[in-house]
Structure 1
Amino acid sequence: MSKSINDTIELIWENKEKYFLGISDEGSSKWGKISELSSTQVFLRDKNGNNGSLVEKLPLNNNILFKGDNLDVLLKLNKSHQNSVKCIYIDPPFNTGKIFDHYSDALDTSDWLSMMKIRLELMRNLLTEDGSLFVHIDDDEMPYLKVLLDEVFNEGKNVIQKNRQDRHHIATIIWQKKYSPQNDAKFFSDVHDFVLVFAKNPKKFKLNNLERTEEQLKRYKNPDNDYRGKWTSSDLTVKTPSEKNIYPIELPSGRIVNPAKSRSWGVTKEKFEELVSDKRIWFGTSGNAMPRMKKFLSEVKAGVTPKTIWLAEEVGDNSEAKKELKAVLESSDIVFTTPKPERLLHRIIALASDENDLILDAFLGSGTTCAVAHKMNRRWIGIENGEQIDSIVVPRIEKIIQGEDLGGVTDLVGWKNGGEYKYFEVK
């Protein structure tokens, strides 16, 4: 299904050059031209789901909910919002072969790739030059999706860049979606999903740091009452030894120490003496411990560089997300099978955007992306074709605006109430 020639990797499948327009009423795949979708129109809807006036021009600065096929909506947005979206998060159908209450997830892999290809191309056009796309997926289609995204972000050139700094693929995040093993699994019990991260222009893309947690801040103390404030310490030795940095050190206790075999000190003898004079070396409370470098909280960069493994205890799991939906909707019978927790979206949005940036979710589902973006003072656009947009998403957003949603990341971000949005239907 794939071929490799030099630095070119191309994913080949049936009907790749055709446009997948959707599923017919009979359940078969519809193929055609983009021009066949140009006749769709945009209507303003009220909070009760009733259609109102025809909309000739989409607003640029409003929060927007769209009801309709995301292909239709993305085509409309490509006329009004190109190069405007800072961060796109999507949780598309994983193509698991299952039929869920809210959507079918049982396309052939080739049809699924065609469905994703045109939508990803349109979403790429919407990104700002420093914007990024986060795609949620499991391991069934992830390998194919990764290669497809390489192609889409190289604008169809199918070239995998030799220079890592030129690659649009930024990272593949592993998210722990559940704690407990699935005992009826045939082989392995999967407890994780992937989030593929791509940048429109890797040279302009900038990732924010994570805020330090209370647990991380506890590591900084000041046992010697240093005037520079709290600090933590790090190993002064390095695993790649340098001959000039192997020398004996006399501790304040009088004991002589050397770096362990196959290691050396991380600084020259002269630099070490400077650090000692500046009281940046810690020898332990008794002056008899191996020397360690002091790192002051006031001098380290603001925040923490994110890792690619995100544990449930850090960003929540599917179970936490279900509880969030039940709480905000006061019902137990309208919960998605695998909703995403607000803490997961909070981390993505915090890393990839700043206040007032525009966030987009083209597979909105239960509305978590827009809910969290609203609480974080971002502008947002959400697209959903199912009836859950009226039964779940609209009530959820309304409660956030009224200050009645007390769960999720509400306390974490200090959300109170306020804001507004427009509700459109494309048909």
Structure 2
Amino acid sequence: MEWMKMHSRDNVAVNVEAVGRLFPNALTEVLRDGKLVQAIDFDVLRQELSREIVEGREERYAFTWPDKRQAILAANAPINATLRPVVADSVGHDGTEGAFDSENLYIEGDNLDVLKLFQETYLGKVKMIYIDPPYNTGNDAFVYDDDFAMEGGDFVSANVPYDEYGNMVYDFKKNLDSNGRFHTDWLNMIYPRLRVAKSLLADDGVIFISIDDSEQENLKKVCNEIFGEQNFIAELVWERAFSPKNDARYISNSHDYVLMYARDINRFQIGRLPRTAEANARYQNPDNDPRGVWMSSDISVKTYTAENDYQITAPSGRVIEPPAGRCWSLSKNKFLERLHDNRIWFGEDGDGVPRIKRFLSELKHDGLTPTSILFYKDVGHSQEGAKEVTQLFDAGVFDGPKPVRLLTRLLTLANLKKDSIVLDFFSGSAATAHALMARNAEDGGSRKFIMVQLAEATDEGGTAYRAGYRNICEIGKERIRRAGAKIAAEAGEKAAGLDLGFRCLRLDTSNMTDVYYAPDAVTQDGLFAQVDNVKADRTPEDLLVQTMLDLGILLSAPITVEEVAGKRVFNVADGFLLACFDRAVTNEVVTAIAKRKPSYAVFRDASMADDSALTNFDQLFAAYSPATVRKVL
């Protein structure tokens, strides 16, 4: 049996391993706290890279700020945390309250910790990320619990965010523009989150980030560093306001930005927009071509090639040469082929510059090329987003929600597949979930969303608080419920297969006691006091979710509970994982599970009924299912 690690991925260890694969001679071992650990010999690495090393005061291009190193440490540091299921707040696949069979996720908690917990389970699996982070306008409240210190060679939180009852506590502070660390604090907040989020994107994935002028410049530099400048796609301009503000001091600002980066620009393919009647109306058929309406386009290009620089004789007899400094886009043979196929147009009088005919019948399935300006007439404006929330709740319970039409446009640009995963880790009112459910209803897709939101308290004097919503998570979950019901009503019979629910989970400390992570640090008196390595208030369902995270099993996987010889056994992903966390597990239970031949079998350390069951455990699996990976916690 193997012990489960029960903590998030250690990115420093992953980086050491990656460098070691490239330069095995730079991999060494050092003694830390009495234990041998792998490390990188920088002297050897320096020799391997000596021609390209920049050091000391040598000038180099760099984007930096105070505490950037701490932000990098915050991104790389592993955490001992978990997600606990909140079944009462969950909604089933068909909209049933309190059911836990949806493949969508709504997660409450600090998004940096949640992203870290996802690093193995959702590594490279997310097709699209959209976030609408604080814009740092001078009144935003941030959460500062990302400071890390070194203790005994391990990263630990410098400000433990838990109260005396074990509940997470977040330190909200307004980042006023009078703050001397105004941009620094915002960068320290956004940088580690984007670094971790990158690892979740699929190779053909894409990220969209809403921002305004306050941090647009810094955000683009951060994204260039994290995602690579070569993976920049566009800085979309969203026309968020439909009328000017007459009280503006200088200029009435009517737009926001949406930065768009690919995980790998060579693997990403943009989603095209549906063709419109207005676009199709530009196609005509002045020569009655039997292939239908067409539009002509220029056949000259700037990239000069001598073989494409030739004379063309128009039907009128006029000899035409390419414009100065340009050549034709077609070789002479290719041009003659298209001329013979009646695909070259010289104008109605046969005396014009040649242009190539492009038929609507041959283009209609390709869609329209997106443009970088998102006009409100096409994607909605900020007041439309506010109106959508007001109509769902009969009150304006959330400030600044993005319109569903804007999110729908981004879903299109992301070129989602029918089963893609979409992540929003600043989910706010859950407009992204609303848009994705609507898209699934429209085309029968089974795309899944993951919403992550901190349980930020609502203003006691505000509309949301008076309506009964004590934090933003309550608003987000309720919007998904109401939007799902509305979509189901509008879809009618087509709603039968739609997933309009979500599994609710909440970030918390690990299910395991301190002795699980540091058994050597427990004194003899403490050892006798430890009757179990699982915290007393944790349920088998809590243990199952942390097990799924540890083994890299999607949290949307189907879960059923079976009874085997009087014990509860969790069946995850149709037998991929069988887990039993009950006590007094007998040989009969172990044998029954082994005969099912799961990929993984997990038990508690204190599960076995007696020494005989513990002794026979590995023998039973060796006999019935030797390939099963057996783990304990």
Give TM class, smaller chain: 0.7 to 0.9
2:227 to 153, 161, 168: 153
Q: What whole-Å deviation, never above 9, does each CA across 1:149-199 have from its counterpart, x for those lacking one?
A: 222235xxxxx6xxxxxx232322222222322232222222222222222
Q: Distance in 2 between matches of 1:186 and 1:178?
A: 17
Aligned to 2:215: 141
1:346 maps to 2:389: no
Task: For residue 364 of structure 1, report the CA deviation from its aligned partner.
Answer: 0.5
Aligned to 2:504: 423
1:43 maps to 2:95: no
Q: Distance in 2 between matches of 1:41 and 1:232?
A: 56
1:17 maps to 2:59: no
Aligned to 1:89: 130
1:311-390 aligned within 5 A: 311-331=375-395, 333-336=396-399, 338-352=400-414, 353-377=416-440, 378-385=447-454, 386=456, 387=470, 389-390=472-473
1:397 maps to 2:475: no
Task: For residue 79 of structure 1, report the CA deviation from its aligned partner.
Answer: 4.0
Aligned to 1:78: 119
What secondary structure does 1:46 align onto? helix
1:156-167 aligned within 5 A: 167=230
Q: What is the CA RMSD across the aligned residues, in angstroms?
A: 3.8
Say how many residue pairs are matched. Answer: 383
Q: Taking structure 1 as reference, are residues 189 and 323 closer, same or farther at Cα in structure 2, changes over 3 Å only?
A: same
Residue identity matched to 1:109: H
Q: Distance in 2 between matches of 1:374 and 1:74?
A: 23
Q: What whole-Å deviation, never above 9, does each CA across 1:397-419 have from its counterpart, x for those lacking one?
A: 22332235889xx9xxx989831
Q: Taking structure 1 as reference, are residues 405 and 178 closer, same or farther at Cα in structure 2, changes over 3 Å only?
A: farther
Range with greater deviation from structure 2 (62-71 or 283-292): 283-292
TM-score by structure 1 length? 0.76
* Structure number, greater radius of gyration: 2
1:156-235 aligned within 5 A: 167-235=230-298
TM-score by structure 2 length? 0.53
- Contact kept? 1:83, 1:129, Cα under 8 Å: yes
Q: Taking structure 1 as reference, are residues 277 and 206 closer, same or farther at Cα in structure 2, changes over 3 Å only?
A: closer
1:61-140 aligned within 5 A: 62-99=103-140, 106=175, 108-140=182-214
Q: Taking structure 1 as reference, are residues 260 and 72 closer, same or farther at Cα in structure 2, changes over 3 Å only?
A: closer
Task: For residue 270 of structure 1, report the CA deviation from its aligned partner.
Answer: 6.3
Q: Taking structure 1 as reference, are residues 5 and 302 closer, same or farther at Cα in structure 2, changes over 3 Å only?
A: farther
Q: Taking structure 1 as reference, are residues 268 and 136 closer, same or farther at Cα in structure 2, changes over 3 Å only?
A: same
Q: What whole-Å deviation, never above 9, does each CA across 1:206-241 have from its counterpart, x for those lacking one?
A: 222222222212222334442323322224555778
Larger helix share, 1 or 2: 2
Unaligned runs of at least 5 residues, structure 1 = 22-30, 50-58, 155-159, 161-166
Aligned to 1:249: 314
Q: Distance in 1 between matches of 2:291 and 2:173?
A: 59
Q: Taking structure 1 as reference, are residues 303 and 371 closer, same or farther at Cα in structure 2, changes over 3 Å only?
A: same
Q: Distance in 2 between matches of 1:423 and 1:405?
A: 20
Taking CA–CA contacts closer than 8 Å with sequence separation of 6 or more, which of the two structures ends up with the larger relative contact order?
1
Q: Distance in 2 between matches of 1:96 and 1:38?
A: 33
Task: For residue 60 of structure 1, report the CA deviation from its aligned partner.
Answer: 11
Q: Taking structure 1 as reference, are residues 221 and 391 closer, same or farther at Cα in structure 2, changes over 3 Å only?
A: farther
Task: For residue 93 of structure 1, report the CA deviation from its aligned partner.
Answer: 0.2
Q: Distance in 2 between matches of 1:340 and 1:363?
A: 12
- Contact kept? 1:247, 1:269, Cα under 8 Å: no
Q: Taking structure 1 as reference, are residues 33 and 75 closer, same or farther at Cα in structure 2, changes over 3 Å only?
A: closer
What secondary structure does 1:143 align onto? helix
Task: For residue 97 of structure 1, report the CA deviation from its aligned partner.
Answer: 0.6
Q: Distance in 2 between matches of 1:20 and 1:67?
A: 24
Q: Distance in 2 between matches of 1:396 and 1:186?
A: 36
Q: Distance in 2 between matches of 1:177 and 1:5?
A: 44
Q: What whole-Å deviation, never above 9, does each CA across 1:9-44 have from its counterpart, x for those lacking one?
A: 4222222222599xxxxxxxxx99955x52454231
Q: Distance in 1 between matches of 2:75 and 2:263?
A: 28
What secondary structure does 1:14 align onto? coil
Task: For residue 124 of structure 1, report the CA deviation from its aligned partner.
Answer: 1.0
Task: For residue 88 of structure 1, report the CA deviation from its aligned partner.
Answer: 0.5
Residue identity matched to 2:453: E
Residue identity matched to 2:89: K
- Contact kept? 1:257, 1:290, Cα under 8 Å: no
Task: For residue 362 of structure 1, report the CA deviation from its aligned partner.
Answer: 0.3
Q: Distance in 2 between matches of 1:345 and 1:406?
A: 21
What secondary structure does 2:62 align onto? strand
Q: Distance in 2 between matches of 1:135 and 1:390?
A: 21
Q: Distance in 2 between matches of 1:260 and 1:272?
A: 13
Q: Distance in 1 between matches of 2:427 and 2:472?
A: 8
Q: Taking structure 1 as reference, are residues 404 and 177 closer, same or farther at Cα in structure 2, changes over 3 Å only?
A: same
Task: For residue 302 of structure 1, report the CA deviation from its aligned partner.
Answer: 0.9
- Contact kept? 2:204, 2:263, Cα under 8 Å: yes
Q: Distance in 2 between matches of 1:236 and 1:16?
A: 50
Q: Distance in 2 between matches of 1:286 and 1:105?
A: 69
Task: For residue 272 of structure 1, report the CA deviation from its aligned partner.
Answer: 5.0
- Contact kept? 1:246, 1:264, Cα under 8 Å: no
